[in-house]
């Protein structure tokens, strides 16, 4: 698709900002997202399905979210599309996580 991901030659994307002594991950949730994607058996999805799920992100969202947020979006959408869980189950997990966080706070 002629999507926002196809960035080769685009102007106006701003300067490249290399980070000095960049860590491999910037937050613990990035570690978890990376590991989750890697741990899911390869028979569930292939790399092109993975890439295309990210390419289908809404363009402004694609540009305003970070790399591992793309992966998180991809995990949620692709696993539902692949029938691994239902949207309702994901929403239940969100509210459980929220109450757990409130309880421990």
Is the torsion defined by CA of 81, 95, 103, 74 positive or negative? positive
* Smallest distance, another protein to C-beta of residue 8, A: 3
Asked whether position 95 contacts another protein by CB under 8 A, the answer is: yes
Q: How far apart are CA 94 and CA 1, in angstroms?
A: 31
Contact set for another protein, span 11-30 (CB under 8 A): 11-19, 22, 24-29
* Smallest distance, another protein to C-beta of residue 21, A: 10
Asked whether position 97 contacts another protein by CB under 8 A, the answer is: yes
Contact set for another protein, span 58-77 (CB under 8 A): 58-60, 63-64, 66-67, 69, 72, 75-77
- How far is the CA of 19 from the CAs of 16, 24, 26, 30, in angstroms? 10, 11, 11, 17
* Smallest distance, another protein to C-beta of residue 14, A: 5
* Smallest distance, another protein to C-beta of residue 65, A: 9
How many other β-carbons are positioned within 10 Å of the β-carbon of residue 78?
19
Tokens of 2: 């002629």
């Amino acid at each position: 698709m002629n999507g926002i991901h196809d960035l080769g030659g685009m102007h106006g994307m701003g300067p490249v900002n290399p980070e000095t002594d960049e860590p491999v991950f910037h937050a613990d949730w990035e570690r978890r997202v990376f590991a989750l994607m890697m741990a899911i058996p390869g028979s569930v999805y292939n790399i092109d399905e993975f890439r295309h799920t990210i390419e289908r992100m809404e363009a402004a969202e694609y540009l305003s979210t970070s790399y591992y947020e793309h992966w998180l979006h991809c995990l949620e959408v692709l696993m539902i599309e692949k029938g691994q869980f239902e949207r309702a189950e994901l929403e239940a997990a969100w509210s459980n996580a929220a109450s757990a966080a409130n309880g421990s706070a």
